[in-house]
């Protein structure tokens, strides 16, 4: 094969490969009832967390963006911190996930995030830094605060909104039905989750423009 | 408006023109009953009445006019993947009731993976109002709209505004006012309209998609469907169009949040170069005989490009 032909073929294959990769990512997005896609991430505490290490435990994923008013509603009311404390005290692993790309709203360094956690008295197991958006895309996370619950068998049992009040009003927190708590309570009681998927209201996840 | 005092023949003509112009501007302003725009994040909101007064026993229209800075948007009744629609609570005198917002056709906004439905630049939301026949003409009607609106570009800012109007109440219907009629006529142009009776629609479904087949009597090469309800259609998935000799088929991926079967699909259909249309189409059961179309039949119906 002539070298020029080889390069021509190679250059033709690159876009095809990109399309295939994108398609694979699209197909791989987690759905309720499917095994939760595996990931490994560095957290703001400097440690590495692997989803697979938590087999046998419930895991909650919380998409976060500190500039988003829907996230602000949950943190300024203290509701998110309360949920984190309530469920981690029962052995649930809680990962806050930061999928904002550098330069976008909600992008934070490890020390920014640690300062935020301290200031807000947040209590996740860890805050995972995902500036490439890899974990976000793996779960097809659309919004902050989108919530995912994974059961001890590693299956997604809830994916969607934090509650049934899709607003930015702090006043709506007390009367809301919290879907994450419901999913955890029902599953722990051996029942099936009554509302396993909802529209994950909030701000769009601020992915990198080139990540897809 | 600032008018500079001028002298001389030439400037007199200019002055006269300016007076006529400002009179015209005033006339335009006064025929449309409205309050000054209230600030919302990166924009303004105005409450506008179509007519100069309310007539007891006659319906009337109000409009919420949102004007936004370039690049900012607000949301349709189904906001899509993120965001939320504007919400209005009314302060109304006894005997006046607000109807449901008439939502104009939205646009697809967002990124390839997160798609929202909304309005950029400006939008007019018309609200039909009811006035009781027993309404007294003794008191002018004080009407206020308390609006919560999420305004987004790269980021989202929630805003609140109260806009209000005082309209006289009379027994006689008000005259049609040319300016307001034009403003409301423009707003109505963006409303989805009923489809012509000769157009036929059917929806078949597979486990992961709805397939909308349209027979309009002519070929269609560009279609966008906006689902009226959330969590029925996957917003970010491409809508796959296959033009046919008499219309098209459009494949819409089901939302991952659609956990129970639905009987009908409602939404707005925007065809290239035409007005938006409202559709409300029954969905055939999977594998059911009526309306169900196999992929082979679909291929047979489609014609090669």
Contact at CB, A104 and B112, closer than 8 angstroms: no
Give the mean pLDDT of chain B.
85
Strand stretches in B139-239, DSSP E:
141-152, 156-167, 169-170, 193-194, 200-205, 209-215, 223-227
pLDDT at A32 over 60: yes
pLDDT at A37 over 80: yes
Whole-number pLDDT of residue B199: 96
Strand stretches in chain A, DSSP E:
40-42, 48-50, 59-63, 93-98, 126-129, 143-144, 147-150, 156-160, 203-204
Average of per-residue pLDDT across A76-104: 98
Q: Write the residue in B148, B155, B230 that is nearest to A199 by C-beta.
A: B230
Q: Is B207 part of the contact surface with chain A (CB cutoff 8 Å)?
A: no
Q: Mutate which of A102, A204, A210 to disrupt the B interface (most B C-beta within 10 Å)?
A: A204
Q: Is A81 part of the contact surface with chain B (CB cutoff 8 Å)?
A: no
What is the dihedral sign for C-alpha A31, A35, A37, A40? positive
Distance from CA of A192 to the nearest CA of B (A): 14
Whole-number pLDDT of residue A211: 53
Nearest to B256 by CA among A206, A180, A176, A26: A26
Average of per-residue pLDDT across B98-110: 97
Whole-number pLDDT of residue B155: 92
Average of per-residue pLDDT across A20-35: 61
Is the separation of the CB atoms in B232 and B205 below 8 Å?
A: no
Contact at CB, B158 and A105, closer than 8 angstroms: no
pLDDT digits (tens, 9 = 90+) for A137-191: 999 999 999 999 999 999 999 999 999 999 999 999 999 999 999 999 999 999 9
pLDDT at A93 over 90: yes
- Per-residue DSSP letter, A38: P
Contact at CB, B231 and A199, closer than 8 angstroms: yes
Interface of B with A in 98-127 (CB under 8 A): 110-114, 116
C-beta atoms surrounding B111 within 10 Å: 16
Whole-number pLDDT of residue A31: 85
Whole-number pLDDT of residue B10: 42
Is the separation of the CB atoms in A105 and B154 below 8 Å?
A: yes
pLDDT at A92 over 50: yes
Q: Is A72 part of the contact surface with chain B (CB cutoff 8 Å)?
A: no
The answer to ipTM > 0.90 is: no
CB contacts < 8 A, A to B, total 68
Whole-number pLDDT of residue A16: 43
Full DSSP string of B128-142: EEEE-TT--TTSPEE
Whole-number pLDDT of residue A47: 98
Contact at CB, B259 and A203, closer than 8 angstroms: no
Is the separation of the CB atoms in B55 and B122 below 8 Å?
A: no
Whole-number pLDDT of residue B177: 73
Task: Determine the Cα–Cα distance for residues B36 and B163; give it in Å rounded to an integer.
Answer: 8
Provide, as residue numbers in chain A, all residues whose Cβ is less than 8 Å from the Cβ of B153. none
Whole-number pLDDT of residue A153: 98
C-beta atoms surrounding A6 within 10 Å: 10
pLDDT digits (tens, 9 = 90+) for B30-44: 344 555 689 999 999
Contact at CB, A68 and B156, closer than 8 angstroms: yes
Whole-number pLDDT of residue A210: 67
Whole-number pLDDT of residue B175: 87
Is the separation of the CB atoms in B118 and B86 below 8 Å?
A: no
Identify the CATH assignment for A31-204 out of 3.30.2290.10, 3.40.30.10, 3.30.300.30, 3.30.360.10. Answer: 3.40.30.10
Give, in degrees to the nearest 5, the angle at Cα B225 between B303 and B213. Answer: 35
Structure tokens at B249: 């088929």
pLDDT at A65 over 70: yes
Whole-number pLDDT of residue B303: 36
- Look at A15-24, A123-132, A156-165 and tell me which has the smallest mean pLDDT: A15-24
Average of per-residue pLDDT across B45-57: 95
Contact at CB, B257 and A143, closer than 8 angstroms: no
pLDDT digits (tens, 9 = 90+) for B235-288: 999 999 999 999 999 999 999 999 899 999 999 999 987 889 999 999 998 865
Q: Which domains does chain B have, with CATH numbers?
A: 33-191 (2.60.40.1250), 194-301 (2.60.40)
pLDDT at B78 over 90: yes
- Greater confidence, B303 or A127? A127
Distance from CA of B73 to the nearest CA of A (A): 13
Task: Determine the Cα–Cα distance for residues A177 and A174; give it in Å rounded to an integer.
Answer: 9
Provide, as residue numbers in chain A, all residues whose Cβ is less than 8 Å from the Cβ of B152. 203
How is chain A split into domains, by residue range? 1-29, 31-204
Is residue A40 very low, low, confident or very high in pLDDT (cuts 50, 70, 90)?
Answer: very high
Give, in degrees to the nearest 5, the angle at Cα A169 between A166 and A173. Answer: 75
- Greater confidence, A5 or A111? A111
Whole-number pLDDT of residue B300: 37
pLDDT digits (tens, 9 = 90+) for B178-205: 777 899 999 999 999 999 999 999 999 9
Whole-number pLDDT of residue A21: 40
Average of per-residue pLDDT across B293-297: 39
Q: Is B263 part of the contact surface with chain A (CB cutoff 8 Å)?
A: no
Whole-number pLDDT of residue B179: 75
Distance from CA of B113 to the nearest CA of A (A): 8
- Greater confidence, B16 or A184? A184
Task: Determine the Cα–Cα distance for residues B48 and B35; give it in Å rounded to an integer.
Answer: 7
Based on DSSP, count helices (H) and strands (E) in chain A, helices before strands: 6, 9
Is residue B7 very low, low, confident or very high in pLDDT (cuts 50, 70, 90)?
Answer: very low
Q: Is A140 part of the contact surface with chain B (CB cutoff 8 Å)?
A: yes
């Amino acid at each position: 094969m002539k070298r020029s032909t080889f390069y021509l073929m190679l250059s033709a294959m690159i876009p095809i490969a990109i399309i295939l990769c994108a398609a694979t990512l699209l197909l791989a997005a987690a759905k309720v009832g499917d095994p939760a896609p595996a990931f490994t991430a560095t957290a703001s505490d400097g440690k590495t967390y692997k989803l697979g290490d938590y087999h046998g435990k419930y895991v909650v994923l919380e998409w976060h963006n500190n500039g988003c008013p829907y996230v602000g509603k949950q943190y300024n009311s203290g509701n998110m911190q309360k949920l984190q404390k309530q469920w981690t005290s029962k052995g649930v692993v809680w990962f806050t996930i930061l999928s904002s790309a550098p330069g976008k709203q909600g992008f934070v360094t490890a020390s920014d995030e640690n300062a935020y956690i301290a200031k807000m008295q947040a209590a996740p197991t860890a805050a995972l830094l995902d500036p490439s958006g890899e974990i976000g895309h793996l779960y097809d996370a659309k919004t902050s605060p989108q919530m995912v619950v994974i059961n001890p068998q590693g299956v997604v049992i809830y994916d969607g909104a934090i509650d049934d009040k899709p607003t930015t009003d702090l006043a709506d927190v007390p009367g809301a039905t919290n879907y994450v708590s419901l999913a955890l309570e029902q599953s722990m009681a051996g029942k099936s989750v009554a509302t396993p998927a909802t529209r994950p209201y909030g701000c769009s996840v601020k992915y990198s423009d080139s990540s897809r | 408006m600032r008018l500079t005092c001028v002298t001389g023949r030439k400037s007199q003509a200019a002055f006269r023109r300016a007076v006529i112009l400002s009179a015209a501007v005033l006339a335009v302003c006064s025929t449309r009953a409205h309050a000054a725009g209230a600030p919302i994040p990166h924009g303004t909101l105005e409450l506008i009445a179509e007519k100069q007064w309310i007539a007891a026993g006659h319906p009337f229209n109000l409009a919420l006019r949102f004007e936004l800075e370039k690049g900012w948007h607000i949301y349709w009744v189904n906001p899509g993947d993120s965001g939320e629609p504007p919400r209005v609570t009314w302060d109304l005198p006894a005997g006046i009731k607000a109807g449901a917002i008439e939502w104009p056709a939205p646009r697809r906004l967002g990124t390839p993976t997160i798609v929202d439905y909304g309005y950029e630049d400006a939008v007019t939301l018309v609200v039909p109002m009811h006035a009781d026949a027993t309404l007294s003409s003794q008191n002018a009607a004080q009407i206020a709209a308390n609006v919560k609106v999420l305004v987004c570009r790269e980021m989202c800012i929630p805003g609140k505004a109260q806009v209000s109007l005082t309209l006289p109440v009379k027994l006689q219907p008000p005259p049609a006012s040319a300016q307001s009629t034009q403003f409301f006529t423009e707003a109505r142009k963006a409303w989805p309209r009923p489809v012509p009776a000769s157009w036929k629609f059917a929806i078949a479904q597979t486990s992961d998609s709805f397939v909308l087949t349209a027979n309009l009597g002519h070929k269609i090469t560009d279609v966008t469907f906006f689902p009226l309800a959330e969590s029925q259609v996957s917003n970010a998935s491409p809508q796959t169009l296959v033009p046919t000799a008499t219309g098209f088929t459009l494949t819409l991926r089901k939302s991952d949040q659609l956990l129970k079967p639905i009987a009908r699909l409602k939404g707005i259909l925007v065809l290239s170069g035409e007005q938006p249309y409202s559709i409300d189409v029954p969905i055939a059961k999977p594998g059911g005989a009526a309306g169900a179309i196999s992929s082979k039949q679909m291929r047979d119906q489609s014609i090669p490009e």
